[in-house]
């Protein structure tokens, strides 16, 4: 699967798997079903209440339609109902959470992307899984799917009664977790401390963790949490 590379100052590379076109279509169809279901509910309620006001109908039907994606991405950490179902999320190109301004730029350009399938064409031609709104906002859509075979891949174990310390550890991709394991096992040289510190700083940004735990211990804890979370 295609991905985006995040190169750090110490030549440590983090990798995000880009959302596939199929994932995007699943998210689109689920979101469309959510909006259609809302319209049906509103039509049913207004017919029972004999509400004929055009203003009320506009507020109840079209306002949610216009603002649905913006509100969802702001409130659900870069996801809508469809994106959460497809296990994809909007992030910045450096892997961090998108800002309010970036979510708004994506939303404002959504109508343009819808014209003549411009968004689909741009996604297929762009190497970073971006539609026009993503290019302008500096964002993309990545997969956050769990891989059940991750524990075997990483050879990192966590007991069944393991207590998760970093609840967002599942946001790391398999490739990122594998990179963490490789760096931990190969960072005994003179530059090992700097590489570990750089990688820990980047992982903290990705999962929104604090800096209270020592860098090496932090990475080991995240690996255990990631293995436990993605194997459930």
Q: 55: domain range?
A: 16-143
Is there a single domain that holds both residue 201 and residue 135? no
Structure tokens that stand for 216 in this block: 């090496």
* 49 and 119 belong to one structural domain: yes
d(CA 12, CA 64): 43
Domain end marker among 106, 126, 143: 143
What's the structural domain count of the chain? 2
Nearest residue to 230 (alpha-carbon basis) of 132, 164, 183: 164
Decide which of 143, 164, 194 is a domain's last residue: 143
Same domain, 132 and 155: no
pLDDT mean values, one per 10 residues, the chain (232 residues): 51 65 92 93 76 69 89 94 94 84 95 89 84 94 66 53 84 79 70 80 86 84 83 68
Does 220 share its domain with 120? no
pTM over 0.75: no
């Amino acid at each position: 699967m295609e991905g985006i590379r995040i190169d750090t100052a110490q030549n440590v590379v983090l990798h995000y798997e880009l959302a596939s076109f199929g994932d995007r279509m699943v998210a689109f169809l689920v979101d469309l079903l959510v909006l259609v279901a809302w319209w049906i509910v509103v039509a049913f309620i207004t017919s029972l209440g004999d509400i004929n006001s055009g203003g009320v109908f506009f507020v109840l039907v079209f306002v949610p339609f216009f603002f649905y994606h913006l509100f969802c991405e702001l409130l659900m950490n870069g996801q809508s109902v469809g994106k959460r179902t497809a296990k994809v999320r909007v992030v910045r190109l450096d892997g961090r959470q998108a800002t309010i301004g970036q979510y708004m730029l994506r939303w404002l350009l959504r109508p343009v992307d819808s014209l003549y399938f411009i968004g689909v064409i741009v996604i297929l031609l762009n190497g970073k899984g971006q539609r026009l709104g993503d290019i302008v906002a500096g964002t993309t859509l990545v997969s956050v799917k769990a891989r059940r075979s991750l524990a075997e891949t990483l050879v990192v174990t966590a007991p069944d009664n393991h207590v998760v310390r970093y609840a967002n550890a599942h946001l790391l991709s398999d490739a990122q977790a594998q990179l963490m394991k490789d760096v931990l096992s190969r960072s005994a040289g003179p530059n090992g401390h700097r590489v570990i510190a750089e990688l820990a700083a980047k992982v903290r940004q990705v999962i929104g963790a604090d800096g209270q735990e020592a860098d090496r211990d932090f990475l080991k804890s995240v690996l255990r949490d990631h293995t436990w979370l993605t194997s459930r």
